[in-house]
Amino acid sequence: MSTVPLTHILFVSTALFFIGMYGLFTRRNLITMLMSIELILNSVNINFVAFNKYLYPDKLNGVFFSLFIITVAAAEAAVAIAIIINLYRSHRSIDVEGTEEMRF
């Protein structure tokens, strides 16, 4: 076990984070942007668990942080999808170009 150094896990999570950023930059569809945000949150979770495992193996704080992040991400996805469906009802489109009236 654990012959893989910590930096390699961090490289993987960094790559996952920037793949999510690329999706957030290029996509103009709200649902696909939400998927990119999920990828970014997952990379953060990998970081928390890896730091906990490699640097502080006698504590559990990273596990708790990742559990809370998963919970908040689920709530965020549910609220975002409710907003998207409401927006689709009024605008018939879910591109970000059509959402300039959502400021109210």
Partner 1 sequence: MSATQFIFYLISAFVLGTAVLAVTTRKIFRSAIWLLFSLVGVAGLYFWMQVEFVAAVQIIVYVGGVVVLIIFSIFLTHHSGGELPRPPLKRTIFSMLAVLFGFAFSYNLIAEYGFPTTVAEKPFVVSVSDIGEQMLDTRQYGYVLPFEVVSMLLLAAMIGCIVIAMRSIPQGKAIQKPATPMPANGGNIHSVVETKESMEEKTT
Q: Does 44 bind partner 1 (CB under 8 A)?
A: no
Q: Are 33 and 24 in contact (CB under 8 A)?
A: yes
Alpha carbon separation from 27 to 23, 34, 72, 78, 81 (Å, rounded): 6, 10, 23, 20, 17
93 φ/ψ sector (left φ>0, alpha ψ -120 to 50, else beta): beta
Q: How far is the CB of 49 from partner 1 (least distance, A)?
A: 6
User: Would you put residue 98 in left (φ > 0), alpha (ψ -120 to 50) or beta?
Assistant: alpha
* Residue 96 interacting with partner 1 (CB under 8 A): no
Does 82 participate in binding partner 1 (rule CB under 8 A)?
yes
Nearer to partner 1, 57 or 101 (CB): 57
In which residue are the tokens 């009236």 written?
A: 101
Residues in contact with partner 1, counted by CB under 8 A, come to a total of: 70
In the complex with partner 1, the residue whose CB is nearer, 1 or 101, is 1
Positions touching partner 1 (CB under 8 A) are: 1-12, 14-23, 25-29, 31-32, 34-36, 38-39, 42, 45-46, 49-50, 52-55, 57-58, 60, 63-64, 66-68, 70-79, 81-86, 88-89, 94
